[in-house]
Amino acid sequence: MARPSTCALTLISLLVSIDFVRGHEHHDELTEAEANLPTDTILWIHIFLQAAVWGVLFPIGMVLGISRSRWHVPLQSFGFLLTAGGYILGHSHGGRQFLPSAHGTFASLLFIPIAAQLVLGIYLKLHIHEGSIRPWAVRLHGVVGKAYPVLGWTQMLFGAIAYRGYCRGDDLGQCLAHYIMGSGFIAYGVIMAIMLLVGEAWVRRSGRSPEWWDSWVIMLWGIVNTFTEHRGNTWSVKDMQHTILGVLWWAGGLLGILLARNNKRNVVPAIILILTGWAMSEHAQHLMISTKVHAMFGYTVMLAGLTRIMEVCFFSAPTKAADIVDDDNTSDHTLAEPSPRYPTRYVAREASADSGQIAAAKAFRHLPAFLLVASGVLFMSGTDEELKFVHDNEMDHVTYILIMFSIAFFLYALIVYVIHLYATTGRNAPAKEDSRNSIAMTPRNKWYSRVPNAESPGGPLHVIGEDEEE
């Protein structure tokens, strides 16, 4: 447990860093010599330190908070101290200089959630107002904490853009399109991995199949794209392609929602992925390397859609009638791992299914999620400025694409590791004294109540645990 003095020290460090931020002068105009100065050691330390804190440390700390691990507070406190030092380094470097950017502005805005977490953390450690204010503070602390991965991802993107001087002037529009859509594909892969690995209990409690949620997001995103991809009076080929993709998404999303009624799975979101990937693979670009990268992005999205169809049709359905129970359509649910705390979770299903098929399903389920993450990385790497830089440095498309897939492997490894921590730490860790692998059930509401275990009348499966707030 972190002492209040530790939190106070962290807060003081942040206040000191604010003074450094205010005292640092940005350059509204840069000479060519200032822009081409080498990156000094202090700035490199800032880059790697903040990437480690916001990209790795804080997401791990968030998950430890969700699982109620005793390491949550020490890890987050240490992260606050490191990120305060990173802010100071980012505003005290020499060498290469930069124009004002979204990275610097967003850095100042990040003090709001950081300060909120510190204040809420200290308040919760006091254990006061137990029956009035504290329950709401717990919820708010959880919401802010769960936003950290999104905030960190956004700031790291802003940092990379600022470092290269991208996304200015006429390049802003296509830059935003690539980074927003690419991040969306990665987020899609992350959510799919969560549902497939540890999210079955939540899916069952929601009463909706995964494709119901997919279809709603696809439909809403399609509506936005239909009316935002064309500017001016002249319709270019790209304008027409992007706009009709928007129509495709909201039309297909509407069909997916209708087919997903009554907790039924369907392949419409996967078909939309395949059609989107095909369109992108035929998307002609000015540079050959850009055409090749967009084509590989399209092929990867198509493969993600194909593997999603296979997951829905062949790897989620029960193999025998005994697997289907009256009060729960198990064919519409995913293949989450048994928690170490509840190792008999899938006794009913595994007893009636071929062990080879179960093993194949557990291995196969990573394919759609990983391919979505990889496609997102590829799309984010396909901006005109990035590929012009690669082309000017005489790197071929094969090397560049393999670099992007290497990044995707690393990113998905981090995603799987963080999900694994949720399933094996804190309240989800293996129980030391629980011979029957069962716990008392405390019904709450449809989002937080436990899924019935094998010994209760509600159903045959165990669950990992409740999704309580941090």
Q: What is the per-residue pLDDT across 74-101, written as a single tens digit (0 to 9) for each?
A: 999 999 999 999 888 887 877 777 888 8
For residue 287, what is the DSSP state?
A: S
Identify the band that residue 460 occupies on the pLDDT scale cut at 50, 70 and 90. very low
* Backbone dihedral angles phi then psi of residue 39, each to the nearest 5 degrees: -75, 125
Can you give the pLDDT at residue 252?
Answer: 96
* Backbone dihedral angles phi then psi of residue 168, each to the nearest 5 degrees: -120, 150
Q: Tell me, rounded to whole angstroms, the distance of Cα 312 from its chain centroid.
A: 22
Task: Name which residue leads in pLDDT, 55 or 457.
Answer: 55
Query: Over 80: is that where the pLDDT of 296 sits?
Result: yes
- Rounded to the nearest integer, the mean pLDDT of the chain is 79
Q: What is the SS3 assignment for 70?
A: coil
The rounded distance, in Å, linking the Cα atoms of 222 and 241 is: 13
The rounded distance, in Å, linking the Cα atoms of 97 and 458 is: 63
The rounded distance, in Å, linking the Cα atoms of 253 and 218 is: 5
Q: Would you state the torsion angle of the CA atoms of residues 396, 402, 406, 407, taken in this order, to the nearest 10 degrees? A: 50
Can you give the pLDDT at residue 283?
Answer: 76
Identify the band that residue 286 occupies on the pLDDT scale cut at 50, 70 and 90. confident
Task: Name 254's Cβ contacts closer than 8 Å, sequence gap at least 6.
Answer: 215, 219
Query: Over 80: is that where the pLDDT of 268 sits?
Result: yes
Can you give the pLDDT at residue 28?
Answer: 59
Q: Provide the 10 A C-beta neighbour count for residue 133.
A: 11
Query: Over 90: is that where the pLDDT of 54 sits?
Result: yes
Q: Is 332 exposed, middle or buried (0-12, 13-18, 19+ CB in 10 A)?
A: buried
Identify the band that residue 36 occupies on the pLDDT scale cut at 50, 70 and 90. low
Query: Over 60: is that where the pLDDT of 446 sits?
Result: no
The rounded distance, in Å, linking the Cα atoms of 133 and 420 is: 33
**Identity of residue 100:** P
Q: Which of 17-26, 175-184, 283-292 is the least confident region? A: 17-26
**Sequence ranges of the domains in the chain:** 1-165, 173-470
> For residue range 342-386, what is the model confidence (pLDDT) as tens digits?
444 444 444 444 567 777 777 888 999 999 999 999 999 999 899
Can you give the pLDDT at residue 34?
Answer: 62
* Backbone dihedral angles phi then psi of residue 114, each to the nearest 5 degrees: -65, -50
Can you give the pLDDT at residue 27?
Answer: 54
Task: Name which residue leads in pLDDT, 203 or 140.
Answer: 140
The rounded distance, in Å, linking the Cα atoms of 183 and 206 is: 26
Task: Name 123's Cβ contacts closer than 8 Å, sequence gap at least 6.
Answer: 134, 137
Query: Over 70: is that where the pLDDT of 279 sits?
Result: yes
> For residue range 216-246, what is the model confidence (pLDDT) as tens digits?
999 998 998 888 776 777 888 877 888 899 9
Residue owning tokens 């062949």: 314
The answer to whether the beta carbons of residues 36 and 133 sit under 8 Å apart is no
Q: Provide the 10 A C-beta neighbour count for residue 110.
A: 18
